[in-house]
Amino acid sequence: MGGTGGSQTYTNGTDVIISDNATVESPITVSGRTGNGSATTPIAVNIVHTYKGDLKVDLVAPDGTIYNLHNRSDGSADNINQTYTRDLSSEALNGVWKLRVNDNAAFDTGKIDTWSITF
């Protein structure tokens, strides 16, 4: 790992339980890289949840900047299995990136199944 040659995907496949009315985070540590993210950085999210309209999903950069990915849309549909693209060109690659999920309602729960970011 390291250097600036080619893109590399970083993944966290550890399940994180999403309880009602709670906020959870799943971290990915990037190290040994130089430079910043791209203007079209892909973030792949796989969340198992029975009511995705309950969920707010953010990417938190190492400097604390928050990039919203999903904000309580799609009502009663199940699960989030989507790749989002965000402009991370102002963000240094190295550090701890976090997927933050906030469940804003009772009755439906789930888990962060896996997520990844490609630089």
Which pLDDT tens digits describe the chain residue by residue (119 residues)?
444 457 999 999 999 999 999 999 999 999 999 999 999 999 999 999 999 999 999 999 999 999 999 999 887 889 999 999 999 999 999 999 999 999 998 888 899 999 999 99
79: left (phi over 0), alpha (psi -120 to 50) or beta: left
The number of residues in the chain equals 119
The alpha carbon of residue 15 and the mean position of all alpha carbons in its chain are separated, in whole angstroms, by 13
The alpha carbon of residue 104 and the mean position of all alpha carbons in its chain are separated, in whole angstroms, by 17
**CB 53, CB 108: distance < 8 Å:** no
User: In this predicted structure, what is the pLDDT of residue 59?
Assistant: 98
